[in-house]
Amino acid sequence: MKVAFGKIILTPKDYIGRNLAGYVPVVKCDGILDDIYARGVIFESSHQTENLLIISLDFLKFSMKLSNYIKDKIYNLYKIPQNQILLHATHTHKSLDLGNEYGLAGNALKFIKNLLFGQYFSDNKYKIWVSNQIVILVGYLLKQIKKGEPCKISWKKETIQENIIINRRHPEIESKSQLGIISFRGLSDDKLIGIIINFGTHPTTLNNTVSKLSADYPGRVCARVEQETNDEVSAAFFTAHAGDLNPITTCGDDFKTLTEDMSPIYDQMGTYKHTKKIGYFLGDKALEIAKAIPSEDYHTDFDFTAYNQFFEIPFEDYKKYWTSNSLKSRILHIIKKYFLFRLPIFMASQNPPNFTSFNFRYHGHKIFTKTQIQYFILRAFSNSNNKEKSLSITAIPGELFEEIGKKILKNSLTGAENSFIFQNSNDWVGYLFPLKEYILVGGYEPAASFSPLTGAYVQNNFMKLVHKIKNSKQ
């Protein structure tokens, strides 16, 4: 087998004055802490003719329409099938806007205007430039893998016991994320080539007032690996399920007190010092894990199967139960259904935009969005012995709450320890929360999501996909 890593800069020359995506009020960029990148990894089996391509982008999110546009460009030039390409947003809150919700800087009223009209004044030129940069990156990766030396693959997950994350809605859980790595070594010299790194917490180490561009801690993770190895080891970061998980910067880790008053979690005032602290810690840990994997746990070849589950999510309220949160949630739902979502659809029919935020379908009084789940199964083996092991990557189109993420890992065909979740991949349909969270807790997350049902539909469609794969193998 072969693998190639690469990166390309996505920081535009005119970043000053552009809006930073991630917080309201929306702030304008007035400087730079670190550059934003696309980081790609391409896999080549010794006996499969097609490649698997995964790319991580230092953006908050992007729509399925933009994702499909990029995949089509890659296919047209390099003939890599679209269903074998995974595009991921690390979800940094200090990058530029690839959605349409941050086109105008300012307060909540400006943000509502962005929701209504943002797709008509968003910077499509920048999106197309980003797409072209990604195409250039893929060309580089293909050249590198053609001349590259054979390698071997292994992987491992380790729970981070240090208190660096917190469940912002349920601090009493005392959440712990696993740091997952997929490691590659040279076949002839056993030298570490590159690491795919997977960890779940929001890239929000920088507080909402920071007005400088940054990839947040995922960028510092990759930079740390490269710096500590004199650029001999490449790294690519993919955010795991982290919809309700935040980094701990200034709120502390007194989980009992924070359960009683969660405002210090939401009002954290993290700085670049915290960004580097968490990023460097995870980068060092990833290198430590990779270096500790025994040589006999590596496999010299692999094959893969790509599965894609396309489905629609209806914009419907969840009315099964009544609580004190329900009235507020239902009023918000009505506003979105009859104003926020209908007006853009009507306007799009008059003058279609290039990249809408949601992949809308409008049928009478009903509104739907179409999205997808990708599921890759890699079977690793060695020709010299009978050892065989499989890993899976699940690409999810939104921000998975911890509870649903754990259920997906538990039901993965390769087992939780051999399964990786890349959230915010190929699309963004919102926060993916259990229905009980909508009824019992509420909060701003339902407001940001396409529908209260998004989490349930994503979870159910993953289960359907797993069931379909099982049946096809019987």
pLDDT digits (tens, 9 = 90+) for 214-272: 999 999 999 999 999 999 999 999 999 999 999 999 999 999 999 999 999 999 999 99
* Structural domain contains residue 202: no
What is the number of H-type helices and E-type strands within the chain? 13, 21
Alpha-carbon dihedral sign for residues 366, 372, 373, 379: positive
Q: Is the residue at 5 inside a domain?
A: no
In three-state secondary structure terms, 136 is helix
Residue 440 lies in domain: 302-473
Q: In this structure, what token pair is assigned to residue 61?
A: 């999110």
The token pair that represents 107 in the structure block: 């307060």
Q: How many Å from the N-terminal Cα to the C-terminal Cα in the chain?
A: 29
Q: Which amino acid is at 407?
A: K
Q: Is residue 416 part of a domain?
A: yes
Cα–Cα distance, 216 to 205 (Å, whole number): 7
Q: CA nearest 455: which of 241, 177, 202?
A: 241
3-state secondary structure of 460: helix
Q: How far is CA 419 from CA 144, 308, 377, 407, 463, in A?
A: 27, 16, 9, 12, 15
pLDDT of residue 355: 61
Is the omega angle on the peptide bond into residue 294 within 30 degrees of 0, that is, cis? no
Asked if residue 467 belongs to a domain, the reply is yes
Pairwise CA distance, residues 213 & 69, whole Å: 25
Q: How far is CA 92 from CA 217, 352, 411, in A?
A: 8, 29, 28
Report yes or no on 307 lying in a domain.
Answer: yes
Map tokens 């047209």 to a residue. 76
3-state DSSP of 340-362 = HCHHHHHHHHHCCCCCCCCCEEE
Answer yes or no: is 20 within a domain.
no
Instruction: Determine, yes or no, domain membership for 325.
Output: yes
- How far is it, in rounded angstroms, from Cα 271 to Cα 215? 13
pTM of the shown model: 0.95
Residue 350 lies inside a defined structural domain of this protein: yes
Could you tell me how many residues make up the chain? Answer: 474
- Considering its fold, how many domains does the chain have in total? 1
What SS3 class is residue 272?
helix
Query: Which contiguous run of DSSP H or E holds residue 204?
Result: none
Ranges of residues in the chain whose predicted pLDDT is under 70: 115-121, 321-323, 325-326, 342-356, 474
Cα(377)–Cα(307) distance, integer angstroms:
8
